[in-house]
Every structure is written in structure tokens, then in C-alpha cells.
Amino acid sequence: MLLSVIMPLYNEERTAAEIINRVLALPIELELIIVNNGSTDDTRNIIHLFASRPNVRIIDKNANIGKGDAVIDGLRLARGKYTVIQDGDLEYDPEDFVRMIQIAEQNRAVAVFGSRIRNPESGISYQRYLWGGKMLTILANLLFDVGITDESTCYKMVRTDIMKALNLRCRRFEFCPEIVAKLGRNKIKIYEIPVTYRPRKFEEGKKIRWMDGLEAVWTLIKYRFQPLSRFAVKEHEK
């Protein structure tokens, strides 16, 4: 199994079927781990239309704790060489996974990120999110010297054994800064490629809020000074 795609879904009845079909249509040997994160609309029923697919695994959660919690649950089931996160909306194009896998295999890379900043045609949801993302990227580079352009991108592909070894503790949207911080503390090189991004608005279901930006700042600072022994990766595994 080359790729595990973890897809947390919370109240995405309008887009769930389309994004699931897009992932399953990829020319990659993959498994899709869908986490129904306590949805209260018709998302659960839509997800279970795909339950008979041999490469689809479904986790139903009774309560919505957050994206990070769903990612951790999905990661426990991941069997692919690499693991990547796919949001339930249509902001990102999963066809970019093909190039990310190619970069990973060609460079024997542990981590490959999809950067919206490196694609000049990427859209912008709100200016405050654009500049908030730039600020988080600057902070991540200052604290961890990771040399990235898009800290808050959804498309973070990491070798599965390494992602599991990082001992993730996230519950909500702090998944992004936590994994960046822990890769940085372990001196793991992050490769980047430009990816497609078509952002949606709040009225279309966008869920992240300004408070999540503050939590991201705290997460980066926290893991800069937390003992490395809590999430250290053995040198020969990198």
C-alpha cells in the first residue's frame, strides 16, 4: 500500500461524495480512511454508500471533538507507506497527490507539503487568513528552520511510520503547527510542491476561525521548548 488518505468529515453533505470519488479515482495504490466526525447532517449516510469498497475504511465518531482528533484516530488504521490528510471540502485537488508521491519516491523524502503560496494561481479566501498564514510560516521558520512557504496547508504528506512516531496530541486545527514543529525538532527535511487551491467562504461551510490562529502560535512555541524525547524519531529512521 503506497498511500493512506485520512479524510475527516464534519457536516460536509454537499461535497462528501464528490471528494471521495476524486480520491478513489487517483492512479495510486491507496486506502481511504474516512472519519465521520460526529456529523449531524446527511454526511454519515453519504459516507456509508462507499463502505463496500475494498480500499475504504470508515470510522464513525459520536461527537465532534475536532480535526486533529479525527486525524489521530485515522492514523491508527493507516497502512500505507505515506499518509496525507484530505479535507472534506473541494478547496484542494487530490490529483496533486500524484506529484507529491513522485517527489517523495524520487528523493526518498520523509515529508512533502503542498504549498499554495508556490502556486501564483491559488485563490485567497480572506486577506486576514492569507496574512495570518504568512505570519505562522515566518514563525515556524524562525523557531524550527524548516524552510517552508505554507505552514497551514492541508496537504502534508509524511511517511506513515514517522507520522506515527511523532506522538501527535492535537485535537482541533493545531494538527498543522504540531506536525511542522515536530518534524522541525527532529531535523526532518520538508519538501514542497505547488498545489491547486480554490478556497470557500464561511457561508459555504468554511470552519476555521481566528482563534485557531492564536492556538497555532501557541502550539509552535510550545513544541519549540518541549523536551524532544517526547516525540523523538530515531536517527536511522529519518
pLDDT of residue 158: 98
Extents of the domains making up the chain? 3-230
Pair 62, 38: CB distance under 8 Å: yes
- Measured distance CA(64)–CA(141) in Å, rounded: 32
Distance CA 84, CA 66 (A): 17
Q: In whole angstroms, what is the distance from residue 110 CA to residue 183 CA?
A: 9
Phi, psi of 115 (to 5 degrees): -95, 125
pTM of the model: 0.93
The CATH code belonging to domain 3-230 is 3.90.550.10
Please tell me the distance from the alpha carbon of residue 84 to that of residue 7, in angstroms, as a whole number. 9
DSSP for the chain reads --EEEEEEESS-TTTHHHHHHHHHTSSS-EEEEEEEES-SSSHHHHHGGGTTSTTEEEEEESS---HHHHHHHHHHH--SSEEEE--SSSSB-TTHHHHHHHHHHHHT-SEEEEESTT-TT---S-HHHHHHHHHHHHHHHHHH----S-TT-S-EEEEHHHHHHT-----STTHHHHHHHHHHHTT--EEEEE--B----GGGT----HHHHHHHHHHHHHHHHS-GGGS---GGG-
pLDDT for residue 133? 84
| Nearest of 220, 201, 174 to residue 69 by alpha carbon | 174
Residue 173, pLDDT score? 83
For residue 214, the model assigns a pLDDT of 87
Tell me which residues of the chain have a pLDDT lower than 70.
125-129, 131, 200-210, 212
The pLDDT value recorded for residue 207 is 53
Q: Which three cell numbers stand for residue 238?
A: 529519518
